Every structure is written in structure tokens, then in C-alpha cells.
């Protein structure tokens, strides 16, 4: 049995915490002996996220760890979590549980079957998502295909991914667009991070498996059509440019 670290990047998640998402994750962790830790990475939430976790959870759940770092966005939260993880499998998910946490079993199984990277795939099934979100998702896929490629991977953006920890650490060393930890304003989900990570995984010849998972849209009101689109295009252009100049070889 391989040991699993669950990493959850969080930023201003009081609303979801009050819905009981962390209780759900911790109950799952308790029910799975393979899960050795739930590592919450908060990078400077400006609401009561940290206070709430400390008051209601930390200390009461042996598998729960809280890592507080300076604000640098989701991508670096995930990176920091991957570096800290003690398991032989590192799995990351979003705090809103848009994909039910039990689905992690399927991803973990994929790693145990010998894959290096196993990612959740929503296909075109984005239940309950507003039309603007669906349009953004489609535009993203078109741009990604044109700019970066990524053979055989359909959904790069699902926030539900598992890695063999040794593979993840090798991949992190190969990142370029997301290699440096830099400050960001407000929440930042860094859409390009998943793409660079998978791009590097393919370059390294890692075995990648995509597993269909259910996904239910949870609105967080962080989305801004204009700035998010500009950010995504910038990220993908950087990855493409890095590739052209041979940075990933
Ligand atoms: N550490 C960290 N996590 C973040 C940041 N922004 C978003 N997140 C987390 O990333 C995950 C995905 O965020 P969400 O708003 O659901 O993004 P979306 O579903 O992709 O629109 C959640 O667990 C958030 O708390 C950030 O700036 N830092
Ligand atoms: Mg979400």
C-alpha cells in the first residue's frame, strides 16, 4: 500500500469551510489508511480561513497539517505542498470539492497500477456551470491545442490530480514559467501551471492517465473573463516560448 498525501491549496475559503468541506475531506482521510496526511496550504488568506482551521480542526485531526506561506497564488501553494508531502503519492484537489473527494480512490489506484501521473477529467461534463464558464473552457482548449499541444490529454485544468511523489519532484525542477515564487494580487489560480506541469511530464516520458470524474460547478466569484483570459494566454505563450528555446530539454 502506497502512502498518500492530500494537498489542498486554499485562499479565502471561509464560505466553503462553513459548508463543511474540510469535515468531508478529513472523514475521507480517516476512512483510508493509505492517506497519511491532509496538507492545507494557505498563502495569506485575508478572511478567517486560517483562524477557522486552527479553532475547529487543527489538533483534533491527527492527519491534518496546516502550512502557512506568503501569498503567491495557487500554483505555488501546490508546489509548496508537493515539496512538503511525506507520502509516496501526492494528490491535490480544490477546497470547494467540485469533484467528490472519494473519487481520489480512482486516481490513487492509477498510480498503484504504475502510472506516474493520473489526472481527473471532466470531459465536456461541467454540470451547472454558467455559459460564460463553458465558453471560457472551450476557448482555453482551443488556445492550448494551438499553442502548447499536449497529445492525448483532454482536460488539463481539472483541479484533481495525483502523482508519484518522486516524479512530481523531478517535474518541479523542470518548470520554467512557474519556477519562481512571486507575489500576486488577490486570489490567483494560475491556469497555466497545470499545463506546464503536464507538458513537462510528457517531455520526461512519464506515463499519464486521464480518469473521468464527476464534477459539479461551484461558483467562487473570483473569475474575471478579461484578466483570466489574458493570464491564460500569457502563460501558454511563455510555455511555448520556453519550449522553442529548448528550456524543457
Ligand atoms: N494557496 C492559494 N490557493 C488558492 C489561491 N487562489 C485560489 N486558491 C485555491 O485554489 C482552489 C481552486 O480555486 P477555485 O476558486 O475553486 O478555482 P476555479 O474552480 O478554478 O475557479 C481552491 O482550493 C482555492 O482556495 C491562491 O492565491 N493561493
Ligand atoms: Mg472551483
Q: Of residues 110 and 146, which shows the higher confidence score? A: 110
Residue of 187, 224, 225, 229 to mutate, ligand 1, most atoms within 8 A of C-beta: 187
* pLDDT over 70 at 125, yes or no: no
Is the pTM of the predicted complex or chain greater than 0.75?
A: yes
In this model, does residue 62 exceed pLDDT 80? yes
pLDDT band at 124 (very low <50, low <70, confident <90, very high): low
> Is 70 exceeded by the pLDDT of residue 245?
yes
Reported as a pLDDT band with limits 50, 70 and 90, residue 140 is confident
Q: Say if ligand 1 is within 6 A of residue 10 CB.
A: yes
Q: What is the pLDDT of residue 128?
A: 80
Measured from the CB, is residue 159 less than 6 Å from ligand 1? yes
> In sequence order, what E strands does the chain have?
4-10, 35-42, 64-68, 89-93, 117-121, 160-164, 208-212
Instruction: Using a CB cutoff of 5 Å, list residues around ligand 2, an ion.
Output: 94, 96, 98
Q: Of all residues in the chain, what percent carry a pLDDT higher than 90? A: 73
What's the pLDDT score for residue 217? 87
CA atoms of 134 and 90, how far apart (whole Å): 29
- Ligand 1 in contact with 81 (CB < 6 A)? no
pLDDT in tens, 170-222: 999 999 999 888 888 888 888 899 999 999 999 999 999 999 999 998 887 77
Task: State the residue for C-alpha cell 516524479.
Answer: 167
Tell whether ligand 1 has an atom less than 6 A from the beta carbon of residue 96: yes
Report all structural domains of the chain as residue ranges with CATH numbers, in order of start. 4-244 (3.90.550.10)
Q: Is 224 left (phi over 0), alpha (psi -120 to 50) or beta?
A: beta
Q: Which of 190, 172, 181, 168 is nearest to 238 (CA)?
A: 190
- Max intra-chain CA distance, the chain: 50
Amino acid at each position: 500500500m502506497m502512502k498518500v498525501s492530500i494537498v489542498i491549496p486554499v485562499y479565502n475559503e471561509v464560505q466553503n469551510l462553513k459548508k463543511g468541506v474540510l469535515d468531508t475531506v478529513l472523514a475521507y482521510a480517516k476512512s483510508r489508511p493509505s492517506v497519511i496526511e491532509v496538507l492545507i496550504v494557505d498563502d495569506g488568506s485575508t478572511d478567517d480561513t486560517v483562524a477557522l482551521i486552527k479553532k475547529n480542526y487543527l489538533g483534533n485531526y491527527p492527519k491534518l497539517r496546516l502550512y502557512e506561506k506568503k501569498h503567491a497564488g495557487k500554483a505555488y501553494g501546490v508546489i509548496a505542498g508537493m515539496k512538503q508531502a511525506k507520502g509516496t503519492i501526492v494528490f491535490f484537489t480544490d477546497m470547494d470539492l467540485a469533484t467528490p473527494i472519494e473519487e481520489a480512490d480512482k486516481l490513487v489506484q492509477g498510480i498503484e497500477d504504475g502510472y506516474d501521473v493520473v489526472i481527473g477529467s471532466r470531459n465536456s461534463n461541467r454540470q451547472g456551470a454558467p455559459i460564460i464558464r463553458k465558453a471560457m473552457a472551450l476557448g482555453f482548449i482551443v488556445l492550448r491545442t494551438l499553442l502548447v499541444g499536449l497529445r492525448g490529454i483532454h482536460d488539463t485544468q481539472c483541479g484533481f490530480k495525483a502523482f508519484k511523489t518522486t516524479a512530481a519532484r523531478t517535474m518541479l525542477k523542470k518548470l520554467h514559467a512557474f519556477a519562481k515564487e512571486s507575489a500576486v494580487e488577490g486570489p490567483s489560480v494560475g491556469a497555466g501551471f497545470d499545463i506546464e506541469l503536464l507538458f513537462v511530464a510528457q517531455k520526461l516520458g512519464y506515463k499519464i492517465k486521464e480518469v473521468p470524474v464527476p464534477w459539479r460547478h461551484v461558483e467562487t466569484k473570483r473569475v474575471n473573463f478579461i484578466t483570466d483570459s489574458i493570464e491564460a494566454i500569457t502563460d501558454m505563450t511563455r510555455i511555448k516560448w520556453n519550449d522553442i528555446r529548448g528550456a524543457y530539454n
